[in-house]
């Protein structure tokens, strides 16, 4: 029997999550049966979608039950295998959640090659966030050479990839981020312009950065950032809606007048395409292309990435709360074990 330390959902948040919404437990795991593997977690991914899974509100995925392990993608080492496809010592991409060990079906994990890239990238630029950027931009945004692509939360794992792929496709890339340090990083990544959404004249700076308007807006944030973007959208602009992190902790309806009629009027009069998506809907069609293309781009330096590595599983709740508040710098990865 192997003992696993795990972090479970202790209660549902009302507004922003707090440390009290999480609880640490230990549990004994059974030996793996035929077709299963025993895994030791090396890295845990923290992602904004997890906030939605903490809520009981209806969504595209079932909520985490109270007392259940928090969900999340992991990179893990095989400690014991009852499947010929995997050997002890192999490193795999799994979905074990916030825990140190797990027993999983071998068919449900993907073997990684540590020689091709650091294995933690399977949780970021070469994993779900990178694929989200690739699929949303290529299938919905469809930037053409010379067009302008604007992306919010642009130093995050999705946003940074969106901007760099846009550049590969011949478009102008304009990134929106919070604070001078993040803005400077966007310029290092090759963005044509970078705007600090915390600046008092943010809307004016954004308008100056897109003199020909905006053709693609990759939506990760919503809120005040979207308010500044929408008046600048060109006719036939495309808006892939990936996330709305500004509203994830909102309780009840927003205050103020109903702006939905004006929003629909803008969609109508400018012939906008606004399309929400979940990356999983494109996996069958695009994932092999993504692994090939992004693997090449990372290897040759056309796509660069930044990881915000947090040591120890115990730090996951505070790191998750900080990520929702924008305190992270790059893809948040918890290093659970060496």
Residue 121 makes CB contacts below 8 A (sequence gap 6+) with 127, 298, 305
Q: Is the pLDDT of residue 250 over 70?
A: no
CA atoms within 13 A on the CB side of 56: 7
Backbone angles phi, psi at 238, to 5 degrees: -115, 140
DSSP β-ladder status, 148-151 and 110-111 = unpaired
DSSP β-ladder status, 101-105 and 36-45 = antiparallel
Q: Say what the pLDDT of residue 247 is.
A: 64
Q: Say what the pLDDT of residue 59 is.
A: 78
Residue 267 makes CB contacts below 8 A (sequence gap 6+) with 274
Question: What residues pair up with 177 in beta bridges, in sequence order?
Answer: 196
Q: Same domain for 155 and 275?
A: yes
DSSP β-ladder status, 36-45 and 74-81 = antiparallel
DSSP for 304-318, please give it: ---EEEEESGGGHHH
Mean pLDDT of 70-77: 98
- Exposure string (b/e) for 18-45, b if CB count within 10 Å is 16 or more? eeebbeeeeeebeebeeebbbbbbbbbb
Alpha carbon distance 108, 92 (integer Å): 10
In a domain, 222, yes or no: yes
Q: Same domain for 120 and 154?
A: no
Mean pLDDT of 192-216: 97
CATH number for position 80:
3.90.180.10
Contact 11, 70 (CB under 8 A): no
Q: Is the pLDDT of residue 258 over 80?
A: no
pTM summary value: 0.90
DSSP β-ladder status, 22-29 and 2-9 = antiparallel
Give the pLDDT band of residue 37 (cuts 50, 70, 90): very high
Give the pLDDT band of residue 291 (cuts 50, 70, 90): very high
In a domain, 227, yes or no: yes
Backbone angles phi, psi at 315, to 5 degrees: -85, -5
Q: Same domain for 110 and 160?
A: no
Q: Same domain for 106 and 137?
A: no
Structure tokens at 156: 């995050």
Alpha carbon distance 125, 162 (integer Å): 10
Q: Say what the pLDDT of residue 246 is.
A: 60
Q: Same domain for 160 and 256?
A: yes
In a domain, 292, yes or no: no
Name residue, tokens 């600090």: 196
Q: Is the pLDDT of residue 338 over 80?
A: yes
In a domain, 287, yes or no: no
User: Percent of the chain beyond pLDDT 70?
Assistant: 97
In a domain, 212, yes or no: yes
Q: Same domain for 92 and 107?
A: yes
Q: Is the pLDDT of residue 312 over 80?
A: yes
Q: Say what the pLDDT of residue 263 is.
A: 84
Q: Say what the pLDDT of residue 248 is.
A: 62
Q: Same domain for 106 and 149?
A: no
Q: Same domain for 55 and 187?
A: no
Total of domains in the chain: 2
Q: Same domain for 312 and 269?
A: no
DSSP for 114-183, please give it: TTTS-GGGGGTTTSHHHHHHHHIIIIII---TT-EEEESSTTSHHHHHHHHHHHHTT-EEEEEESSHHHH
> The domain containing residue 36 runs over which residues?
2-124+305-335
Q: Same domain for 69 and 166?
A: no
């Amino acid at each position: 029997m192997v003992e696993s330390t795990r972090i479970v959902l202790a209660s549902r948040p009302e507004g922003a999550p707090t440390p009290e919404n999480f609880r640490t437990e230990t549990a004994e795991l059974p030996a793996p049966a035929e077709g299963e593997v025993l895994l030791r977690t090396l890295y845990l991914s923290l992602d904004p979608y997890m906030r939605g899974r903490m809520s009981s509100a209806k969504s595209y995925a079932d909520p985490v039950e109270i007392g259940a392990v928090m969900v999340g993608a992991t990179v893990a080492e095989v400690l014991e295998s009852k499947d010929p496809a995997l050997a002890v010592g192999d490193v795999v991409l799994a979905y074990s959640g916030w825990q140190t060990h797990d027993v999983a079906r071998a068919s449900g994990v993907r073997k990684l090659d540590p020689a091709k890239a650091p294995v933690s990238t399977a949780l970021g630029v070469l994993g779900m966030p990178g694929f989200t950027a690739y699929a949303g931009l290529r299938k919905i945004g469809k930037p053409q050479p010379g067009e302008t692509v604007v992306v919010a939360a642009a130093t995050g794992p999705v946003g940074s990839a969106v901007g760099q792929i846009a550049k590969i496709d011949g478009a102008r890339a304009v990134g929106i981020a919070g604070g001078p340090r993040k803005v400077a990083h966007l310029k290092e990544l090759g963005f044509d312009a970078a705007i600090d959404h915390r600046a008092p004249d943010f809307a004016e700076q954004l308008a100056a950065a897109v003199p020909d308007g905006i053709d693609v807006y990759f939506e990760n944030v919503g809120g005040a950032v979207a308010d500044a973007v929408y008046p600048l959208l060109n006719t036939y602009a495309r808006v892939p809606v990936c996330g709305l992190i500004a509203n994830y902790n909102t309780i009840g309806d927003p205050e103020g007048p109903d702006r939905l009629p004006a929003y629909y009027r803008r969609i109508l009069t400018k012939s906008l395409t606004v399309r929400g998506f979940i990356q999983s809907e494109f996996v069958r069609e695009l994932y092999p292309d993504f692994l090939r293309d992004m693997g090449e781009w990372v290897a040759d330096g056309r796509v660069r990435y930044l990881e915000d590595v947090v040591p120890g599983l115990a730090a996951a709740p505070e790191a998750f709360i900080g990520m929702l508040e924008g305190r992270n710098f790059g893809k948040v990865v918890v290093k659970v074990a060496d």
